[in-house]
Amino acid sequence: MIELERPIRFEEVDAARIVFFARFLNFAHEAMEHFFAGLDGGYSRLIMERNVGLPAVDVAMQFFAPARYGDTLRIETTTARLGNRSATLRYRMSHRASGERLAEVRHTVVTSNLLEMRSIEMPSDVREIFSSHLEPDTRAGDEPRR
Amino acid sequence: MIELERPIRFEEVDAARIVFFARFLNFAHEAMEHFFAGLDGGYSRLIMERNVGLPAVDVAMQFFAPARYGDTLRIETTTARLGNRSATLRYRMSHRASGERLAEVRHTVVTSNLLEMRSIEMPSDVREIFSSHLEPDTRAGDEPRR
Amino acid sequence: MIELERPIRFEEVDAARIVFFARFLNFAHEAMEHFFAGLDGGYSRLIMERNVGLPAVDVAMQFFAPARYGDTLRIETTTARLGNRSATLRYRMSHRASGERLAEVRHTVVTSNLLEMRSIEMPSDVREIFSSHLEPDTRAGDEPRR
Amino acid sequence: MIELERPIRFEEVDAARIVFFARFLNFAHEAMEHFFAGLDGGYSRLIMERNVGLPAVDVAMQFFAPARYGDTLRIETTTARLGNRSATLRYRMSHRASGERLAEVRHTVVTSNLLEMRSIEMPSDVREIFSSHLEPDTRAGDEPRR
């Protein structure tokens, strides 16, 4: 599990004064970039120099409580499923101060060549990071379990 | 079904040069605001004057093909489920020029008093719009079918 | 002068419940894309196929009154200055319903080859659009007047 | 001077593959929130509990070089001018690794009561932070020098 803490920013709320629901996917991606910080050159080198990326094919989100400006999020990222070319990341988002559960996001990605935009075998360094954070009760398998 | 067409904008892509996955939730919300344009004063009066909103409790997204700068999206919005306090919107997003399917989003919302942030009975004008665009094979029912 | 009207969207406000100041630059760019809609293939083909763009070198913004969710903006775009390689766009933003002046943005751009990220002579179709919307009292000149 | 370092994120670039120009105002605001971290409860309590904010009245930006995904920004924030009710923040943004100057933003704000959206005398704790980071050659004065 990789943890990220980040404050809600001033412009991340909406006209209902709670964090805009789409923002939780921005937070998820930020947590994914942090998850892959251990790659040589980080996630950005994977994208910019190796032309390999992890486009989403499926997202499932649940919202439990609203977040507001002034809150700090804790995001715990794990690998919920690991296949040959795809994987599912799980982000558990909570309110740092109270521990209250705010949202959960499952994010299924496919390792892709960005120039040709087609799936490829997962590079070994990417797989290693996914493997290191596999949830304890998860068995490998290429098919999403929904 | 309510339809919205909107061009992809310059800043909606990411470092992989495709539309950033979170943006599809912004598009979904934009389509929802358009869906409720028939309310007196539109969705904005519901929020700003009546203090009623539709916070998300559940989102499911599937991505079929990437969108790029220069593409125009067609978004078809329907009511996939209608309950007493909640409803599920479905957004079918396609590439206007080719008709290619790009993404589908299901978005479950709960009618809420925004001042107290608790669920309320759905106001009749909101219900009427949901009802008018109910998918043909959908039966009413308060429980999400996932 | 090219005019664009667009409603403020739900997520464009901030924790102070007014449109977040950076958003006015998003609106400016949206108005610029609209300004160049007459190019063959629009602004997106300029960027994506011709690899020509208009990166900003200077921006000046003034804010006169806040905008809120529910407001619709009117944006009037003109060419405040036209040089050989650069130009300054002026966006006058007002509240459509009341006519109240909300913001003004001056945006100086340099015609650039995006692959090499260096300035180039302005293509004639780009120049033609700038010329067509030159402010009446503006004389051509390559130097910004600040 | 208060310093903030932050990596460019995946979605902060545009179709020209450089950081979208409006994002630099998001970075500026992020730096301003960091600048005021020393307030009791931070900038968020000022906004959310004290209903005091710092809406922008004037922004001036200069862009010297593009930023890209993978770069990390260094933002140095100072007080360029301090008046009774208003102040001008200056953000010098550079590329952390090379030290190259990327952008400079001057951001004039007016201390405001957010409920009535009118200017107020600057609270002493807000003034203290502005004062602590006043540029050496700056004399106090209520009028912007442009």
Say whether pLDDT at D146 is over 50. no
C10 lies within 8 A of chain A by CB: yes
- The confidence band for C125, taking pLDDT boundaries of 50, 70 and 90, is very high
pLDDT per residue as tens digits for the range D110-123: 999 999 999 999 99
CB contact under 8 A, D56 and C48: no
C44 lies within 8 A of chain D by CB: yes
User: If residue D38 lies in a helix (H) or strand (E), which one and from where to where?
Assistant: none
Instruction: Provide mean pLDDT across the span A131-141.
Output: 79
To the nearest whole Å, the CA of C15 is away from the closest chain A CA by 5
Written as six digits, the tokens of C63 are: 């804010």
Written as six digits, the tokens of A137 are: 């009760």
B69 lies within 8 A of chain D by CB: yes
Residues C1/C133, Cβ–Cβ less than 8 Å: yes
Percent of chain A scored above 90 by pLDDT?
A: 92
Sequence-ordered list of residues with C-beta below 8 angstroms from that of A18, at least 6 positions apart, any chain: A66, A67, A68, B55, B117
CB contact under 8 A, D29 and A9: yes
Q: For B48, which of C30, C41, C70 is closest by C-beta distance?
A: C70
Q: Which domain holds residue C11?
A: 2-132
Instruction: Provide mean pLDDT across the span D27-49.
Output: 98
pTM: 0.94
CB contact under 8 A, C58 and D58: no
In-domain check, residue C142 = no
Say whether pLDDT at B136 is over 50. yes
Residues A68/A12, Cβ–Cβ less than 8 Å: no
Q: Quote the pLDDT of residue A137.
A: 74
Written as six digits, the tokens of D132 are: 């602590």
pLDDT per residue as tens digits for the range C43-68: 999 999 999 999 999 999 999 999 99
Interface test with D, best of C17, C18, C25, C57 (most D CBs within 10 A): C25
Q: Quote the pLDDT of residue D137.
A: 74
**Taking CA atoms, what residue in B is nearest to A44?**
B15
Instruction: Provide mean pLDDT across the span C114-131.
Output: 97
- D contacts of B7 (beta carbons < 8 Å): none
| DSSP bridge partners of B6 | B73
The alpha carbon of residue D133 and the mean position of all alpha carbons in its chain are separated, in whole angstroms, by 12
In-domain check, residue C138 = no
**Taking CA atoms, what residue in B is nearest to A30?**
B22
Number of domains composing chain B: 1
Say whether pLDDT at A52 is over 50. yes
CA atoms within 13 A on the CB side of D102: 26
In this complex, which chains have at least 3 CB pairs below 8 Å with chain B? A, C, D
In-domain check, residue A138 = no
Which CATH number fits the domain that encloses residue A94?
3.10.129.10
Show the 3-state SS of chain C. Answer: CEEEEEECCCCCECCCCCECCCHHHHHHHHHHHHHCCCCCCHHHHHHHCCCEECCEEEEEEEECCCCCCCCEEEEEEEEEEECCCEEEEEEEEEECCCCCEEEEEEEEEECEECCCCEECCCCHHHHHHHHHCECCCCCCCCCCCC
B97 lies within 8 A of chain C by CB: no
In-domain check, residue B141 = no
- D contacts of A70 (beta carbons < 8 Å): 41-42, 44-45, 47-48
- Separation of alpha carbons A91 and B26, rounded Å: 20
CB contact under 8 A, B15 and D15: no
**What one-character DSSP code corresponds to residue A69?**
T
B98 lies within 8 A of chain C by CB: no
In-domain check, residue D142 = no
- Average pLDDT score, chain A: 94
pLDDT per residue as tens digits for the range A77-94: 999 999 999 999 999 999
- The confidence band for A114, taking pLDDT boundaries of 50, 70 and 90, is very high
Say whether pLDDT at D9 is over 60. yes
C132 lies within 8 A of chain D by CB: no
Buried b (16+ CB within 10 A) or exposed e, B75-102: bbbbbbbbbeebbbbbbbbbbeeeeeeb
Query: Which of B128-142, C32-46, C121-135 bottoms out in mean pLDDT, i.e. has the lowest?
Result: B128-142
To the nearest whole Å, the CA of C59 is away from the closest chain D CA by 5
To the nearest whole Å, the CA of A139 is away from the closest chain D CA by 30
Say whether pLDDT at B101 is over 50. yes
Q: Quote the pLDDT of residue C93.
A: 98
Percent of chain B scored above 90 by pLDDT?
A: 92
Say whether pLDDT at A101 is over 60. yes
Q: Is A5 exposed, middle or buried (0-12, 13-18, 19+ CB in 10 A)?
A: exposed
Rama region for C118: left / alpha / beta (φ>0; ψ in -120 to 50; rest): beta
- Separation of alpha carbons C33 and B62, rounded Å: 29
pLDDT per residue as tens digits for the range B19-53: 999 999 999 999 999 999 999 999 999 999 999 99
Instruction: Provide mean pLDDT across the span B86-111.
Output: 98
Say whether pLDDT at D143 is over 60. no
In-domain check, residue B145 = no
Q: What count of other Cβ atoms lies within 10 Å of the Cβ of residue A3?
A: 12
Interface test with D, best of A9, A10, A24, A46 (most D CBs within 10 A): A10
**What one-character DSSP code corresponds to residue D2?**
E
Q: Quote the pLDDT of residue D140.
A: 53
Instruction: Provide mean pLDDT across the span B77-106.
Output: 98
- Average pLDDT score, chain D: 94
Say whether pLDDT at C25 is over 70. yes
Say whether pLDDT at C11 is over 70. yes
**What one-character DSSP code corresponds to residue B87?**
E
| DSSP bridge partners of B45 | none
In-domain check, residue B81 = yes
In-domain check, residue A143 = no
Written as six digits, the tokens of C22 are: 């950076």
C15 lies within 8 A of chain D by CB: yes
Instruction: Provide mean pLDDT across the span A36-56.
Output: 97
